[in-house]
């Protein structure tokens, strides 16, 4: 077996792994990074930007949110279930991390909200601002910086097993493309493999969802819980494991124009034809995903009519979400017709409400009663859920439209228990010396719902926990 030595070995070169590599290399440590794929950045290459509080950019925008306020907001949103010290370390580091990235040449232009009632914590990059994939620039910069600092990358060489002797971590084994194994001898290891969002069996086992049936999340190839499994094998404690859940039409990326209209705060019913949700909350897609997940077959149908469609075409949408690339109704008709012509099982239109309900498979008597009740409420007030009157638009003018909404997700969260130094903790709550974890593999800072009120959270946690892990791993070396 080949032998290789370094001070710190990092498993995977995604957002957390790259941040860890640069942070540790800045101390002078010898770093090696082993990556399963052929590129750096991981799923971060499809993202938009990280969370931060008290960055220079926010101060320029006169954003008043403080670290103390963000910490309180995060912990109360999550009922004080997450490790408060870890959350505090992440939030306190976040503003400085934006400055750190800017110092390397990353250019941010906006601290954005995801929706109107969220906080402006989402740091969007200059190139293609507001587009999916813009964050890839961060990882190009981090990769270049890591190489400048002497970090060595080994691509298409996935780690297979973490090595432990006498209670301490001493390296890991990886497999080259040829099938030959290489032993990486180090004094510390940082696990940052991006979670299990690409493994349908793990999704079913740990979240209860069946991908392609009642879940249509982003399924990134290669994200199969590798690092989580390896950490568990050497004694790491488990955390709760969940999805970064939200709500959308199935195959969202194929139907952006349709998806945009079916995100608006109009009548939402389940298969029983019943309302179950205050639709103005649709803008918080995590909450919408939670509500839809509780319904029969984990789905619901957004309903609107020709008048509502024309209103959006003339006046714009009621609600805008920053990461939705379509913010007008211009492309809806053509895309909807294409879907219907292909005999879609998700999108329906009809000249009568009865025909619409039948096509969608909604229980017709209840559906008709619900629409009648809703239309009466549009003339006065929503006594059922107290939806804001400005969003109460009657469903009465042919044509009628229905779109199926389902749970989706950006990826997985959680798996490896860590402390505020990103040291891995065993089942007895003791530190495993020399083992660190960062990013999605260890992101257990949410209770049962992703904290969408402060957007950029997952990428922010990945980059900041990577930095924290790299810095503390270097400190650990100095203590030996």
What confidence tier does 130 reach under pLDDT thresholds 50, 70, 90? Answer: very low
At the topology level, CATH places domain 2-241+414-479 in FAD/NAD(P)-binding domain (3.50.50)
Per the listing, tokens 């969802």 go with: 209
Task: Supply the CATH classification number for the domain 245-408.
Answer: 3.90.700.10
Domain 2-241+414-479 matches domain 245-408 at the CATH topology level: no
**Mean per-residue pLDDT of the chain:** 95
What confidence tier does 220 reach under pLDDT thresholds 50, 70, 90? Answer: confident
What pLDDT is stored for residue 134 in this prediction?
Answer: 76
Q: According to DSSP H, which parts of 318-432 are helical?
A: 332-341, 353-360, 364-378
For residue 31, give the H/E element and its range: strand 31-34
Instruction: Indicate the burial class of 99 (C-beta count within 10 angstroms; 0-12, 13-18, 19 or more).
Output: middle
What confidence tier does 128 reach under pLDDT thresholds 50, 70, 90? Answer: low
Annotate 85-148 with DSSP letters as a single string: HHHHHHHHHHHHHHHHHHHHT--EEEEE-SSTTS-S-EEEESTTTTSTTTTHHHHHHHHHHHHH
From residue 359, alpha-carbon distances to 222, 268, 351, 452, 479 in Å are 38, 16, 12, 34, 68
Q: pTM for this one?
A: 0.95
What confidence tier does 127 reach under pLDDT thresholds 50, 70, 90? Answer: low
Annotate 444-474 with DSSP letters as a single string: ---SSS--TTSTTHHHHHHHHHHHHHHHHHH
User: For residue 132, is pLDDT > 60?
Assistant: no
* Mean predicted confidence (pLDDT) in 431-443: 99
Q: Which two tokens stand for residue 6?
A: 């370094």
Annotate 209-224 with DSSP letters as a single string: --BTTTB-----TT-S
Q: Would you kindly state where each structural domain of the chain is located, as residue ranges?
A: 2-241+414-479, 245-408
* Mean predicted confidence (pLDDT) in 62-80: 97
Asked if residue 158 lies in contact with residue 36, where contact means CB atoms within 8 angstroms, the answer is yes
């Amino acid at each position: 077996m080949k032998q290789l030595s370094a001070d710190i070995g990092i498993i995977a070169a995604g957002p957390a792994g790259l941040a860890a590599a640069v942070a540790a290399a800045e101390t002078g440590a010898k770093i090696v990074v082993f990556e399963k794929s052929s590129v750096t950045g991981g799923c971060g290459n499809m993202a938009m930007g990280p969370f931060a509080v008290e960055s220079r950019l926010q101060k320029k925008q006169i954003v008043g949110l403080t670290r103390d306020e963000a910490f309180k907001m995060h912990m109360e949103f999550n009922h004080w279930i997450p490790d408060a010290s870890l959350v505090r370390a992440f939030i306190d580091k976040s503003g400085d991390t934006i400055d750190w990235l800017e110092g390397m040449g990353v250019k941010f232009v906006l601290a954005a909200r995801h929706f109107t009632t969220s906080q402006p914590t989402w740091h969007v990059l200059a190139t293609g601002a507001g587009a999916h994939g813009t964050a890839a620039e961060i990882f190009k910069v981090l990769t270049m910086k890591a190489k400048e600092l002497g970090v060595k990358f080994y691509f298409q060489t996935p780690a297979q097993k973490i090595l432990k002797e006498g209670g301490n971590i001493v390296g890991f084994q990886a497999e080259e493309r040829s099938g030959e194994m290489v032993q990486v001898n180090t004094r510390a290891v940082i696990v940052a493999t991006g979670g299990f969002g690409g493994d349908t069996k793990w999704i079913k086992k740990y979240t209860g969802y069946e991908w392609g049936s009642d879940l249509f999340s982003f399924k990134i190839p290669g994200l199969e819980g590798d690092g989580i499994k390896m950490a568990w094998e050497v004694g790491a404690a488990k955390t709760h494991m969940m999805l970064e859940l939200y709500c959308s039409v199935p195959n969202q990326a194929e139907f952006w124009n349709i998806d945009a209209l079916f995100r608006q705060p109009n009548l939402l019913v389940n298969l029983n034809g019943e309302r179950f949700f205050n639709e103005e909350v649709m803008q918080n897609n995590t909450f919408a995903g939670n509500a839809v997940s509780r319904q029969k077959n984990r789905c619901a149908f957004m309903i609107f009519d020709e008048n509502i469609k024309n209103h959006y075409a003339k006046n714009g949408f009621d609600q805008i979400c920053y990461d939705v690339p379509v913010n007008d109704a211009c492309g809806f008709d053509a895309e909807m017709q294409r879907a219907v012509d292909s005999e879609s099982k998700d999108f329906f239109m009809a000249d009568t409400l009865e025909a619409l309900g039948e096509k969608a498979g909604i229980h017709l008597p209840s559906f008709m009663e619900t629409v009648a009740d809703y239309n009466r409420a549009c003339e006065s007030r929503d006594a059922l859920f107290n939806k804001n009157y400005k969003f109460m638009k009657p469903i009465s003018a042919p044509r009628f439209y229905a779109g199926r909404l389902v749970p989706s997700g950006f990826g997985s969260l959680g798996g490896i228990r860590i402390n505020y130094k990103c040291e891995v903790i065993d089942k007895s709550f003791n530190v495993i010396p020399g083992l660190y974890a960062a990013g999605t593999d260890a992101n257990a800072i949410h209770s049962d719902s992703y904290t969408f009120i402060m957007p950029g959270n997952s990428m922010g946690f990945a980059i900041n926990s990577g930095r924290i892990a790299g810095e503390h791993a270097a400190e650990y070396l100095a203590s030996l």
